[in-house]
Structure 1
Amino acid sequence: MRTALRSHVGKVRQINEDQAWFGQVNGHALAAIVADGMGGHRAGEVASGLTVNSIVESLQNWDNFELGADAIPSLREIIRTANTTVFETASLNEQYHNMGTTVVMAMISQGSGLIGYIGDSRAYRIRSGQLEQLTEDHTLVNELTKSGQLSLEEAAQHPRRNVLTRALGTDPEVAIDVQVIDWQIGDRLLLCSDGLSGMVEDELIQATLEQSELNLEQQAERLIELALEAGGDDNITVIIIADDAGANATGGGTA
């Protein structure tokens, strides 16, 4: 498996409040995490950083690599621990009051994987020329769209499209979505903050991931460029995972 990670502050924000990481977990599974922090006075940066650090620490102590349905409670507990860490830090420090973060993470091993998430950072899988969004945005606009109160076109332009209905660290308890996915040779997985998905259409994302003349790092760079060309209104973070031969994951990275 090959992996590329890129992050950019964008054209508007002064601080990059996104945090991301990928690496092997005890030499077995490949794990990847994207967190998009929120809160004033650098609190978003603190929330996303605490989240990624907490999850990575928990993963290093997790020895269950049968990534099927039986592993769902374990992954939920790992994300729940991160939620407690962020919430308690905010409760004890006035300058971090109400800070929080989105999080989307993936674990891939031996033909299967897990996706866990809260908020509107996304996971996409591309397979056989089809791009599939694996996550569901925890946003007000998505809830209104599902209930039929907004069309997809109205949702895309809605002034409150970035309002979250769920975030990590803002409450002592939070609902965590976890799902099992199958994983095949030739698949690609994209994890991203909404600095990409909110600015670049799915068709352009798919076309970039299918550009065979670009290597994985160049594809990641191109996705960042597309978000900047569209305005760069937010921080932008992408992780791409590609399984071209079913090889074991190597290396690691952070941003």
Structure 2
Amino acid sequence: MFVQEQDFAARQYKGRRENQEDYYAFADAAELGEEPLSKILLVVGDGLGAHAGGSVASYLAVNAFVRAFHEQPGDASWRLRTALDTANDTLGFITERMPAVAPPMGTTMLSVLISQKEVQWISVGDSPLFLYRKGNLTRLNADHSLAPLLEERVKAGQMTAEEAANHPGRHTLQSALMGMPLTLVDFAADPIKLLPDDIIIAASDGLFTLTHKALQELLHFGQNTTADKITDAILFAIRRINFDRQDNATIGVVKIPGGTTDS
């Protein structure tokens, strides 16, 4: 059984934005007959700031996803995909009833289903999902921004790493929930096996103020503590950088029980 704050926790930081347009939810995903909180669902939505009601879009989509996941029968993969489509359709339904001059509502979505033995997910957009295991930090889901395409151009010698890092379109999304057909969906139909003391991080892109190396080192020093302390440490590190264009940041952490934890 997962224990709140000890094994799973989340925190948010508005950053330099006027509004908090991220929204997240944890939900008990235990099946009938299973011990409560033997499985948890974490859903993170990052509302699109250039669109109408980014904060409303993320709120509506996350709640529609959680509700649909619980209402759907079938295996986990089917329920994740159906819930994603329901969340997308919900935004489309709302957009159809908005004034024609308003842009469509939109949000990224990262949904993660975690037991003490495995993890699987479905995601649209650039919100990252990481696995930290025995000193190594690995991104599990795909990045649906233009960043991967720019990195390919760097590898091909078509631009420098500095040009790619400072490209104005770097964070432009190739896919998001906007009520229209989804162009890109990252879907782990087959779960990944987990080990005791593995750490799962599901976040919005405000996390990227920290470099991959900085996040990995932070997790190395905090791996023997609880999920809430890990989450607090990540947000503290982001705030300490004091980036003048800091985006909203949502950090969700799930630590797989079974190893050593300092209180």
Query: For 1:175, which of 174, 184, 188 is the aligned residue?
Result: 184
Amino acid at match of 1:25: A
Amino acid at match of 1:128: K
CA distance in 2, matches of 1:216, 1:143: 33
Query: For 1:128, which of 125, 134, 138 is the aligned residue?
Result: 134
User: Deviation at 1:218?
Assistant: 2.1
CA distance in 1, matches of 2:77, 2:203: 22
* 1:51 paired to 2:61: yes
User: Deviation at 1:150?
Assistant: 4.5
CA distance in 2, matches of 1:107, 1:151: 38
Name the CA shift for 1:120/1:189 in 2 (closer, same or farther; >3 Å).
Answer: same
Gaps of 5+ in 2: 31-35
Name the CA shift for 1:170/1:60 in 2 (closer, same or farther; >3 Å).
Answer: closer
Instruction: Tell me: higher relative CO, structure 1 or 2? Use CA pairs within 8 A at least 6 residues apart.
Output: 1
CA distance in 1, matches of 2:94, 2:256: 38
Corresponding residue number in structure 2 for 1:250: none
Please say which of residues 103-112 and 206-215 is displaced more in the overlay: 206-215
TM-score by length of 1: 0.85
Amino acid at match of 2:249: I
Corresponding residue number in structure 2 for 1:78: 83
Is the CA contact (8 Å cut-off) linking 1:103 and 1:118 kept in structure 2?
A: yes
Percent identity of paired positions between Structure 1 and Structure 2: 29
Is the CA contact (8 Å cut-off) linking 2:124 and 2:185 kept in structure 1?
A: yes
Please say which of residues 109-118 and 79-88 is displaced more in the overlay: 109-118
CA deviation map 1:19-42 (0-9, x unaligned): 011131143421111110014576
CA deviation map 1:48-80 (0-9, x unaligned): 001110111012224546xxxxx4343112101
Corresponding residue number in structure 2 for 1:115: 121
Amino acid at match of 1:6: R
Corresponding residue number in structure 2 for 1:35: 45
SS at the partner of 2:24?
A: strand
* 1:245 paired to 2:254: no
CA distance in 2, matches of 1:18, 1:59: 20
CA distance in 2, matches of 1:54, 1:112: 24
CA distance in 2, matches of 1:108, 1:74: 14
Please say which of residues 172-181 and 29-38 is displaced more in the overlay: 172-181
Amino acid at match of 1:56: V
Larger Rg: 2
Amino acid at match of 2:21: E
Is the CA contact (8 Å cut-off) linking 1:123 and 1:189 kept in structure 2?
A: yes
Name the CA shift for 1:194/1:41 in 2 (closer, same or farther; >3 Å).
Answer: closer
User: Deviation at 1:174?
Assistant: 4.1
Is the CA contact (8 Å cut-off) linking 2:24 and 2:44 kept in structure 1?
A: yes
Is the CA contact (8 Å cut-off) linking 1:43 and 1:96 kept in structure 2?
A: no
Query: For 2:70, which of 41, 52, 60 is the aligned residue?
Result: 60
Name the CA shift for 1:21/1:150 in 2 (closer, same or farther; >3 Å).
Answer: farther
TM-score by length of 2: 0.82
Corresponding residue number in structure 2 for 1:229: 240
Name the CA shift for 1:96/1:241 in 2 (closer, same or farther; >3 Å).
Answer: farther
Corresponding residue number in structure 1 for 2:92: 87
Amino acid at match of 2:170: R
CA deviation map 1:181-232 (0-9, x unaligned): 22111210000111112x1101111222222465322221121122223316
Aligned residues: 239
Q: Within 5 Å, which residues of 2 pair with 1:168-207?
A: 168-169=177-178, 171-179=180-188, 180-197=191-208, 199-207=209-217
Name the CA shift for 1:96/1:191 in 2 (closer, same or farther; >3 Å).
Answer: farther
Is the CA contact (8 Å cut-off) linking 2:51 and 2:104 kept in structure 1?
A: no
Amino acid at match of 2:22: D
Is the CA contact (8 Å cut-off) linking 1:211 and 1:219 kept in structure 2?
A: no
